[in-house]
Amino acid sequence: MEETSMTTFKDAIINRRSIRKVTKNPAITEERIREILKTSLHAPTSFNMQSGRVVVLLDGEHEKFWDIVKETLRARVPAENFDATVQRLAGFRDGVGTILFFENQATIQSMQENAPSYKEQFPFWSHQGSAMLQYAVWTALEADGIGASLQHYNPIVDDEVKRTWDIPQEWTLIAQMPFGEPNEQPGERSFLPFEEVVTFHK
């Protein structure tokens, strides 16, 4: 790998942050997102089972999703806290789009049947694969100057999402990633000492 490419990759890893306030930008096109996803689908999965599924909501469909989240939370969040909830959701809704990450349970079941010795492990491996796909997409968005965050309003919105966008019943919603033009500066992060996390033996 060329030094410049490696530096860019390292920078994307370091600079990737949760950007919870995003706005619209016509320069963030469907084609740009499509190319990012094509690249990200190279993320590995155990047994190459490729159980991840992705739905991209743009424009009005993206806004519809966050309206669903808001109305779902209205019945669950105390009235005195709901305004703060609406403001938080507006930071997502004001963006360009939302990526929905699913895992196809039919694929997992098929893998369990084909490799019964690992039956208990496939659900764990499925989530690991989903996490790697999410991270690949998130890091690629960062490298392209697009802000994003990872949200988890499942399972309370699952049924409405499936009805609204005709999602197969065997797909399980794992996470949601709203994206757009960054509209906030994230705070500083702290990390555990390297030596506390990583050990070498030789």
CA gap 45, 127 in Å, rounded? 10
> Do 130 and 175 touch, CB atoms closer than 8 A?
yes
Tell me the domains of the chain and their CATH numbers.
16-180 (3.40.109.10)
pLDDT band per the 50, 70, 90 thresholds, residue 12: very high
pTM: 0.95
pLDDT given at position 7: 62
Q: What is the pLDDT of residue 51?
A: 98
Question: What amino acid is encoded at 63 in this protein?
Answer: E
Instruction: Note if the bond before 155 is cis, omega within 30 degrees.
Output: yes
Stretch 20-31: mean pLDDT, rounded? 98
pLDDT in tens, 147-175: 999 999 999 999 999 999 999 999 999 99
**Averaged over 93-103, what is the pLDDT?**
99
Q: What percent of the chain has pLDDT over 90?
A: 95
pLDDT of amino acid 14: 95
Instruction: Read off the pLDDT of each residue in 119-123 and give the average, rounded to a whole number.
Output: 98
- Tell me how far CA of residue 173 lies from CA of 85, 130, 146, in angstroms: 21, 11, 23
The per-residue pLDDT for 1 is 46
Res 183: pLDDT: 98
For residue 81, the Cα-to-chain-centroid distance in whole angstroms is 26
